[in-house]
Amino acid sequence: MLCPYCQHPDSRVLESRSAESGFSIRRRRECLNCQRRFTTYERIEYVPITILKRDGAIESFDRSKLLRGMVRACEKTGISQTQLDAIIDEIESQLQVRDRHQVTSVEIGEMVLQYLQEINEVAYVRFASVYRQFRGVKDFAEALNHFNN
């Protein structure tokens, strides 16, 4: 770490502590050359996730877009914003640990459906109806039969 004052490459760590709710480490350092103190932060570097859409387009993962779709499916079901945020956090975490960082929209949709199936049948069917592009009553009946099995 270069000293921001004299550009000397060596410093010693005086203090380390967790910052940003555990998502980074704050370090207080002292330059071994000029003895001035400065603060650094160490954070995990996340690789951007890209989404391959059904039409072949590629776009960056957009947490807010996924949340909007889930909020729409979960209206008046009693599922809280906190639960939805937790689901999206878990999905993002699963995507970050994968070897490849391009994922299809189909994979993400299936991940959401797995979580919604566990917490609310109505939200599951609503999300599935848009995500799987239901064309009629038959598609809804098939989705509902999924719960009977």
pLDDT tens-digit map of 70-106:
999 999 999 998 899 889 988 988 888 888 889 999 8
Q: What is the pLDDT of residues 35-45, one digit of tens each?
A: 999 999 988 77
Is pLDDT above 80 for 10?
Answer: yes
Q: Which spans in 1-149 are helix H?
A: 63-74, 81-96, 105-119, 121-131, 137-148
Do 36 and 54 belong together in one domain?
no
Q: Domain count of the chain? A: 2
Do 66 and 133 belong together in one domain?
yes
Is residue 27 assigned to a domain?
Answer: yes
Question: Which structural domain, as residue segments, surrounds residue 87?
Answer: 50-148
Do 144 and 80 belong together in one domain?
yes
Instruction: Give me the pLDDT at residue 128, please.
Output: 80
Do 66 and 95 belong together in one domain?
yes
Instruction: Give me the pLDDT at residue 29, please.
Output: 97
pTM above 0.75, yes or no: no
Is residue 29 assigned to a domain?
Answer: yes
> pLDDT-based confidence at 148, cuts 50/70/90?
low
Do 144 and 84 belong together in one domain?
yes
Which position has the higher pLDDT, 10 or 89? Answer: 10
Q: What is the pLDDT of residues 97-132, one digit of tens each?
A: 888 889 999 899 999 999 998 998 889 888 888 877
Give the C-alpha separation, 37 to 76, whole Å. 54
> C-alpha angle 31/36/41, rounded to 5°?
70
Do 62 and 118 belong together in one domain?
yes
Do 15 and 80 belong together in one domain?
no
